[in-house]
Structure 1
Amino acid sequence: MEKGLLGSEFRHFTEEIRARFMHMGLKKKTVTFVMCTFLGAVLFTSVVFGILYSNSWKSTVIKHVKSIEAEKEEGIKGYFENMQSLAYNICYSNWMQDIFKKSVSVQRRQEMEENARAFLGSLSTLYEGNQFAVIALNGTKVTGTDSYRLDYSVDIEQKDWYEELLANGKYVETGEGSEKGIYRNHPEWNMTIYYVVHDYNTLERTGFLVITIPLKNIYKLLDTSYEGTWLALEDPDGGLDCSGLPEDTDLEGKIKTMPFRVVKAENRFFVSKTQIETDFFTWNLITVVDEKFQKISNPMMVFVFVGVLIFVGCLLIVVAAAVSRYLTNPILDCADAMLEIRNNNIGIQMENTYSDEIGELIDGFNEMSGSIFSLIEKNKMISALQKDAEIKILERQINPHFLFNTLEIINSLILNKKEKSAVKVCETLGQLYRYNLRQNKWITLREELAYTMQYLLIMKYKINDLSYFCDVDDKLMDTPFLKAILQPLVENSIKHGFQRKQQECCISILIRQNNDKLHIEVMDNGNGMEEEQLASLHTEIRGIFENPMKYLAEANHIGIKNVVQRMYLEYGEAFHVKIISTAGYGTRIELEIPEEGERREEKPYV
């Protein structure tokens, strides 16, 4: 209730301010407009500067997170690639191959084991406490230092992952407790890498090389010198979790569900999660950066400050231009409205929000536009009446041709003493002319087909071998249809197609619905047309499309052209016609018109 009251009061206040402004003179409007524009420019600049600063700072933090992430990912991959390279150098060195041989004297074997222990011990010192051990199938077991004892109860061949070790040539074991590796009483070992060793001459499996990496060395991979930055490693399978995240947060519980991109958590931390894939494992690297420790070093901010000063300095010029637009915009709108009138958007009215001299100008334009609209409407009505008169003339143009043809048939039947047939033709002719006397411009498709069938019935008395077929979808029978369209096309086929034809004469009518169009085909197997004759007919039809109001003079194919002209006057560009004819084979006429309710909008012929 209170919100609605406040909203109503605010609208009333703004409307009052607007009304006072619109009733000011141009001079007072100019001063007020300049002052409001200046205040708006200062506010806009402040908002833009705040957005730029925020986006720049956020972009800097994200780049920092990605940089640390890429640096650590490269370091971790490089570390384990180095371990793998070292392992293969050890496995296939000559002295290592000798240890795995069975045919070696006891004294020689002891000597090789001492040398191997010393070498592996030096490697342990060199690699910051990583332990190296050799387990041969001949029973020899050597570790790098004496301080860590091998657990002789560990049988690698009994491990669940032994088959995977043989298949891949290596296996990584992580975790604590039962998965502590090959040493006794050292649950702090976090990662043990097993390599299968083969004799490089016979390729026979001879033993295993084991590298054990303590947890502290993995944590060293996560060390960073950046203040307010923490990293963690996570094994998707749950076998490893090296976390260096801050303890006073709930980040560890949220990281599992975080997406693999940079997100903000707890309104303070930027967290990035990415997947590291190596030949040993697949880990998720988590990088956390505290925004409080980030500083922006962006020279763009300096340019922003300078830009603000320049903007304020140029503000008066901008305001002056705005005032000028206040005076010129209505005139430009009037020019655009006149262009609309020229493009037949007659009767356009401009919204008048001005109460000064500019308002009087707009009122005058609106009165002028209304007067032009009234005159055009009168002219359109006269043009429409003229078009209807032309259509009626075209309809009356068909009837004489049909009557003359029918009278010839009746005369022929009487001369041949076929009085009953002549009477039948007269009755059918009477029905057809009663149909023609109807004033309806539109009938149903059913009525048009019935009319055409009656005509064909008369024509069978003239052409003995005449047959006709009609294929029309029953759902279309009640479709509104322009009167006297099919019969002139059929009459054209009989008059021009079947002259001097000795064999069977066939006419087919096909009407189908094609998407939202009505597709009509009238086809005969008559004489067809020569290429020159067909080209001439196409030229005349194009002339009808270009000037549909032109009177059709008596000529060949008057029926086709009459139908095309009436169709185009009714449907305009939505009407399509196609005539295909081959001399000696026949003619097919295709018409395509919109369904009911989709006839073209009437356009004035001025």
Structure 2
Amino acid sequence: MRDLSIKYKIILSVIVFVVIFTILNTYQWNSRVTSDTEASATSYMNEMLKVTNDNFEVSLRDVDHIVTMLSINPDIINAFSSSGYSSQIDFLKDERKIESLIANELNFKRYLSGLMVTDLAGRMTGAGDFMRFDDVKTQSWYSDVLQSKGRKLIIGPYSYINGVVEFKNPQSKDSVISIVRPIVKEDKVIGFVKADIRFNLLLDIFNVNLKDNASIIMLNRNGGWILKPPSELEPFILPEAVMKAWESKQEYKNNIYLDIAGEDTLAIFNHSSFTDWTTVGLIPKTKLLEGIHKTQRANLLFTSFLALISFAILYGIILILTRNLLLLSKAMKKIDRGNLDIAIQIKSQDEVGQLYNQFNRMVQRIQDLVESTAHNESEKRVAEMKALQAQINPHFLYNTLNTIKFLAQLQGAEGIRDVSESLATLMHVNMDSRRMITVREEVEYLTNYLRIQEYKYNSKFISRISVENEIENARILKLLLQPIVENALRHGIGQMKGQGILVVRIYKSNDSLMIDIEDNGVGMDEERIMEIMHDDLNNKSIGIVNVRKRLSLYYGELASFNIVSEKYYFTHVKITQPYIVEIEEGTDG
């Protein structure tokens, strides 16, 4: 990115912006439309299931009303509670009356396949197709009727063909759903009324309002099928999984997605309090969002087309805007190669034109400076000689500091005395012509330097210097540590809030002298460390660079200089050099 021209930077920036904006906008639009579609489908299916269930319940309640009226009919109760009639004619009269009543009800309800009344002794009458009493007694629900205390029972769906009751195929053409109520006299069940409703009633009601790709299933309270899913989906839908999802729906009140045949399918639940059955509407998510995906593809194609046109127009505009910048850039590259004879013409009055005018003036000044360099150089050398002659003799400054120290001691100015004494020691070391000194001397010099800095920083930091006793006579480059400590104080501890801590540790490891300098200042980032390690400092921390160069020049690859730092927390400088005690004659100085 840094090496690209401004033209391509602008183009790339606009492309990135447009792509990110398009992605975010598409994502937001897709999320919103998907959510709205799910909400719309859920609302539609909920309403459809509610209306359909209500219609089905109306029919069931109508049948239940008939069954209830028959179960409390006085004529029926008397007929089935009498232990005997005075004559067979009387019984036949009552039986004909009951049959006529049942037949009338059956004729008005075409979805009823049979209606029967029976006592517990096997005397029964009815209309349409109904189960024989011997078969009734073998059903599991028979005992439930006797213990129902007047409550209704809903049974099925099941089929009854040639005396065989079959529950395994609830959706056969012969299947029925039965509503049963006991006939009670004096709190004792003496018989029951049973109405059989054609299963086609349920199929007709629940299939009439179905959208394409949607399906409906229904389960009883025990998880048994009432209305099975389509045959292609049945192997993938487990009733217990559906019931578990229904329980989750009741708890969290949100839409539920079921994994059916490896596809997410939206499930909408409706529970009937009358039947205690649960109806579930199923819509595959792919079908639910099919229209959205088509719109997405069309929108993406249209957006891509507009983007291509926009990029083409943008490229042309940028070429026009950056043409003068390109000319100016080429001229500056020629200047960089030492060619000051530049002849370009930029007539625009915008910022580029202003920059061009300033550039021309700069080139003219450079030419003037080059012409006067030879003349100024000789005068500069003369001035430098005069400046050197005017410098204070170091020996004179050293003697003067001792005088200040003596006067401060006489007047009790301990601070001035300490600073003067420390500075005098520093001057003494500076005047020493040796290139290398002992660790003990370097530490003494560093201690005096830190004493002066403590006054400067007004006790802002505390320092600790740790040296192993057996290495005090080891040799070290003179003034090696002071620039690093100075940098730690100026750029680390000096920039922080609170108490600073500076730790210097010198020790021996194998054949190497190890030096650790650590502070808890503001630290530095990786970019700053890279500048120091690659001499790219622009006059910042030049002392540290000199330390690294001195180590490299004197020891070569036997020495190392490393910096570890974490911004705002600490800086740790680690120096490794050969462990040297004796120095060959003629190498020091």
Q: What TM-score bracket applies, with the shorter chain setting the length?
A: 0.3 to 0.5
For CA contacts below 8 A with separation 6 or more, give which structure has more relative contact order: 1
TM-score (norm 1): 0.39
- State the TM-score, normalized to the length of structure 2: 0.40
